[in-house]
Amino acid sequence: MKTKTQLASALVFLFGLLMAFTWSDGVLAEEGDEAYAKGGAQDCMECHDTQPTTLVLHTPHAMAGDARTPFASQECESCHGPSSDHMRKVPGELIPPPPKVVFGQNSITPIEDQNEVCMSCHEGGLRINWTGSEHHSGDVACATCHTVHALKDPVLVKQSQDEVCYACHVEQKAQSFRRSRHPIKEGKVTCSDCHNPHGSFGPTLLKYSNVNETCYSCHTEKRGPFLWEHAPVRDDCTNCHTPHGSSQPRLLKIRTPYLCQQCHIEAFHPSTLYSGDDILPFGAGERILAKGCLNCHPKVHGSNHPGGVRLTR
């Protein structure tokens, strides 16, 4: 009889020891304590040993040999904060208290506090204009665009970046289905070719100081200078083009001749607005049919021909 009770109490003791080991690392912190887990990542992995959580181990963040990385110091808790409390079993509670920092757009941790963790290592560089930028003041978390627990963060991959942005920017998503567009779906151009989502010196989070500089970064032949310039081109490409998609060919905002006639109502050849009434044989058909004004003025971005003053060659 006696040995049976002894065995039972020994079992209870062992079970208690096991629980203590699982829910704490033995000499664990009291409630409210802000202590790091004694065993570092190993402690966390006791419970969090599944994907996607473990994928972080294969990313640059887990390069423990690089002194700048989270894994060179507090490992998981370099980002999630001192979380030994989280490993403490609260009697009667099924789930443990949350770790110090929980990431995500709808997390219990204020976005400002989450971003502070990331910025403690990533200030400067592309993020030199983060403070006060549209996404900063729009309360967007770093972790909303970035996925840390992934082999490759989707927002850093050309083929998948646009989908991350479209989650919020539905208007640009709609425009991406129009007939004329940049080859974004094909992964040849991506949002961050033109925008710096972390903030910029230019308007509209543009990567360069203005619209034209941004466009010239790829369409260098449009930079000129030309012998005969066309003023609206030098001024701003978006006088005629829209960047994200158009139902007109060549990303034009509206079709020619109406595009040109927004400004050239008084061209000395007929100074009237062209309309459907002008269809041949009675009217100025060649000015509105097919490519309209472009039939005779193809050098709309500027001309280097000595006789190209009217942008005709």
Contacts with ligand HEC in 107-146 (CB under 6 A)?
A: 115, 117-122, 125-127, 130, 134-135, 138, 140, 142-146
Whichever of 29 and 194 has its CB closer to ligand HEC, that residue is 194
Long-range contacts of 171-178 (CB under 8 A, 24+ apart): 172/244, 172/245, 174/245, 175/242, 175/244, 175/245, 175/246, 176/244, 176/245, 177/245, 178/245, 178/246, 178/247
Q: Is 261 in the site for ligand HEC (CB under 6 A)?
A: yes
* Contact predicate 29/100, CB 8 Å: no
Q: Judged by CB under 6 A, how many residues of this single chain contact ligand HEC?
A: 136
Using CB under 6 A as the binding rule, whether residue 58 contacts ligand HEC is answered as no
Contact between residue 69 and residue 60 where contact means Cβ atoms under 8 Å apart: yes
- Which of 85, 111, 199, 241: binder of ligand HEC (CB under 6 A)? 241
Binding span for ligand HEC by CB under 6 A among 1-9, 11-19, 27-35, 167-175: 167-175
**Could you tell me which residues come within 8 angstroms of residue 158 by beta carbon, excluding any fewer than 6 positions away?**
187, 188, 190
Q: Which stretch binds ligand HEC (CB under 6 A): 2-10, 13-21, 26-34, 294-302?
A: 294-302
Closest approach of ligand HEC to the CB of residue 184, in Å:
6
- Residue whose CB is less far from ligand HEC, 1 or 108: 108
Nearest to 244 by CA among 184, 159, 164, 165: 184
Residue 259 touches ligand HEC, criterion: CB under 6 A: yes
The rounded distance, in Å, linking the Cα atoms of 118 and 249 is 43
Residue 48 binds to ligand HEC (criterion: CB under 6 A)? yes
Q: Tell me: does residue 191 bind ligand HEC (CB under 6 A).
A: yes
CA 300 to chain centre: 34
- In whole angstroms, the minimum distance from the beta carbon of 282 to ligand HEC comes to 16
